[in-house]
Amino acid sequence: MLHEILAFDKGTEELAFSIEIPADRFGQLAELMAWSEPEDAIYEYDLTPDQIRRLESMTGKAFSSPDYIFQLSCSA
């Protein structure tokens, strides 16, 4: 499973960029997202500011901005 952070431009709603979450961070990601069932990992989620801050730490990338809507996505 590949999880990515998707950033959509608030003005155009177009995808501006994406950031891949390393597969070895899956346990941390599951805890952050409070997933309780295995299938919880396959859905898309809107991200809160707190989740974004923690994901920045997890990925080692600074990406938070008020110009974007952030979602977590999964692809197989």
Q: Provide the number of structural domains found in the chain.
A: 1
CA distance 66 to 41: 26
What is the predicted pLDDT for the residue at 75? 87
CATH number of the domain within which 32 lies:
3.10.50.20
Give me the helix-helix angle, 26-33 and 49-59, nearest 10°: 170
pTM of the predicted model over 0.95: no
Q: Domain of 55?
A: 2-75
DSSP conformational letter for 48: P
Per-residue pLDDT reduced to its tens digit, 10-69: 999 999 999 999 999 999 999 999 999 989 999 999 999 999 999 999 999 999 999 999
